[in-house]
Every structure is written in C-alpha cells, then in structure tokens.
C-alpha cells in the first residue's frame, strides 16, 4: 500500500547546472532547506565541463538548467539517458515538446507539469502578463486579436550578475531607473503572446528600477473591456473565480495608495490588483522577479514533478501580510 508519509520523507536526487548564477543561487538556497531534496554537487574545476555536468544530469532524478540559452540547448542536445529537466532559460519556453511551467494558467496545466520530463520555467515579465491577460482572453472579455499594452517595472536583479554589479559597485550608485527593450524585441514577447492565446505580441514597456528585487506588471484596459457594465467589480470577480483555490495567487481591489515595485519582494506568490475607475480600469500583478518570476516558480514545478506538496519550501505573502 502506498504510504504518503514515507513518500514525503523520501530524498530526491537533484542537480543544479549553473548554480553560481542569480537564479541558480536562489534555487540552491531554497533546496538546501528543502526536506525532500538531496543536492548533487560538482567541483569548481568541473562546473564548466559539459561531459561531467551531463553525467550528473543523467544521474539525478531531476535537474535545473540555469544557463544562457545556447548553453542550455547544447546540454539538452548532449543528453542520452534519463533525467527530468527544468529549464530556467528562454531556450525552450515556446518549444512544443516542453511544458510551460505556470500551473495556474489553465485547467490541466498542473497535470501536464506533473507528468512532464521537460518543463520550461516562465520569464518574469511573461509570468505577470500571462496571469493577467490569459483569463481575459479565456473568458472572452478580450478578443485574441486585441492589441494590448503592458507596462512592467522590475528590480535590477532581473538583469543578472552583470547588472547587479553595475548597481552595487562600492561607493557608486547608478541612481536612476530606465526603460529598455526599445525595439520591441524583448525576449519574453514570444511566450507572452503564445501563452496568453493572443494572435499578436503586445506593445511592451519594461523598466528597470533602482532597487534590488520585486516587480509589478500592469495592463491598462480602458475601452478594451467596454463589454463589461461594471468593470472594476466584474474584473475582480473574474480573477477571483479564475484563480479560486490557487495558493500562490491572491486578488484584491484598490483605489488609493501605491503599487510599489518591491512590495512583494521576498515572497513566492503573486497579488493581482484591480484598480482605476469604471471608464478606465487597470489590472496589475505584484510579485518577486527572483521568486515566482524565477526560482520559486522552478521549485514549485519541481515539487509537482516529484509528487511533493506544491508550495513546499516557498513563502506565501498573502498569508503573512495581514493588511492585504
């Protein structure tokens, strides 16, 4: 007879390829405290040796790829044996043989992740956009041909080691925030389009803020939701029903105050906010770009793939923040 208690006590062999990068380090910190994981390690001199890394991936029950896109493709191409993969790069997010690692977006997505051998971890900006846009398309509040605009502000940790070093040089502060992706060629756009069921990419305005971690993705809806009689109430109800029962998604409505970029820093869930006025409604989602936008999403998918409690090792902000 299957013993659930024994299964949760079991140690699963896990390897992180690229544990020295920003996302890899965050995943490692979480897994070092995870009661059901035993991490395989690689020596400093071998961590750039693809053959040695592939051997560990094939030995592990599950491996994280925290690598640049091309390096991720090379590793996947070199694999011969078993081993389940979670890829944190952009390389496989729209690949039809990989499952998109955002279990909340659709009925059945969680089951696909549980049974998958290859799962791509969503991009941070894309996570926010898809969580907001897909329910609107699924519920036919918006047509799939709608031309959407998305605004996103993120902490500078989203730029990886190089950007972090720029902002944190001893005695030096860049002291500014800035828009990027000016050519509308941001690498998250293909997954934003496909996973939101849109027929065209949104106009995307990403901004790096002068703070370390946390992000807010916003969608101005305005007349796009003219079929709603009472947009603020109906949007709050739509999101509440769509994400009903989701432990990592909260919904609230606000009319005053601020949406700070780092409000949800340190937490691994997300908070959707409906705000504005009836003739000009807005929706936004706050989360940690290094949490649900990267490492926490990867750990969440790992838990699903290994048959563990989905939020094992994660910190849920909507439970801890009494004022929300």
3-state secondary structure of 24: helix
**153's tokens:** 């502000």
3-state secondary structure of 91: coil
DSSP type of residue 202: P
CA atoms of 298 and 102, how far apart (whole Å): 9
CA atoms of 245 and 239, how far apart (whole Å): 11
Q: Which of 106, 99, 102, 107 is nearest to 122 (CA)?
A: 102
CB atoms within 10 A of CB 303: 21
Q: Which of 181, 208, 200 is nearest to 137 (CA)?
A: 200
CB atoms within 10 A of CB 174: 14
3-state secondary structure of 233: helix
CA atoms of 179 and 134, how far apart (whole Å): 25
For tokens 């946390």, the residue is 214
Phi-psi region of 152 (alpha: psi -120 to 50; beta: other; left: phi over 0): beta
Residue 54 contacts residue 79 (beta carbons within 8 Å):
yes
Q: Which of 33, 66, 124, 301 is catalytic?
A: 124
For tokens 């007879």, the residue is 1
Q: Based on the residue annotation, tell me whether 124 is a catalytic residue of this protein.
A: yes
**74's tokens:** 């090379």
Which residues are identified as catalytic?
124
């Amino acid at each position: 007879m299957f013993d659930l208690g024994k299964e949760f006590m079991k140690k699963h062999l896990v390897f992180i390829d690229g544990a020295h990068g920003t996302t890899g380090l965050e995943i490692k910190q979480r897994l070092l405290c995870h009661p059901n994981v035993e991490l395989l390690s690689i020596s400093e001199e071998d961590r750039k040796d693809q053959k040695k890394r592939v051997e560990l991936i094939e030995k592990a029950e599950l491996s994280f790829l925290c690598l640049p896109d091309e390096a991720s493709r090379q590793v996947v191409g070199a694999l011969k044996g078993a081993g389940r993969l979670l890829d944190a790069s952009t390389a496989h997010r729209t690949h039809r043989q990989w499952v998109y690692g955002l279990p909340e977006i659709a009925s059945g997505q969680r089951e696909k992740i549980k049974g998958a051998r290859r799962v791509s971890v969503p991009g941070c900006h894309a996570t926010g956009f898809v969580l907001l846009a897909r329910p609107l398309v699924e519920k036919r509040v918006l047509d799939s041909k709608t031309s959407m605009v998305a605004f996103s502000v993120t902490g500078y940790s989203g730029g990886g080691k190089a950007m972090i070093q720029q902002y944190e040089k001893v005695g030096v502060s860049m002291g500014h925030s800035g828009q990027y992706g000016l050519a509308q060629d941001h690498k998250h756009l293909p997954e934003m389009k496909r996973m939101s069921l849109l027929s065209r990419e949104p106009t995307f305005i990403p901004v790096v803020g002068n703070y370390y971690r946390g992000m807010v993705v916003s969608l101005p809806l305005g007349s796009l939701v003219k079929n709603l009689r009472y947009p603020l109430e109906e949007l709050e109800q739509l999101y509440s029903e769509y994400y009903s029962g989701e432990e990592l998604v909260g919904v609230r409505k606000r009319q005053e105050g601020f949406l700070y970029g780092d409000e949800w820093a340190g937490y691994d869930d997300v908070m959707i906010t409906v705000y504005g006025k009836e003739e000009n409604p807005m929706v936004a989602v706050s989360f940690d770009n290094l949490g649900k936008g990267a490492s926490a999403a990867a750990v969440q998918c790992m838990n699903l793939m290994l048959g563990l409690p989905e939020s094992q090792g994660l910190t849920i902000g909507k439970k801890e923040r009494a004022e929300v």
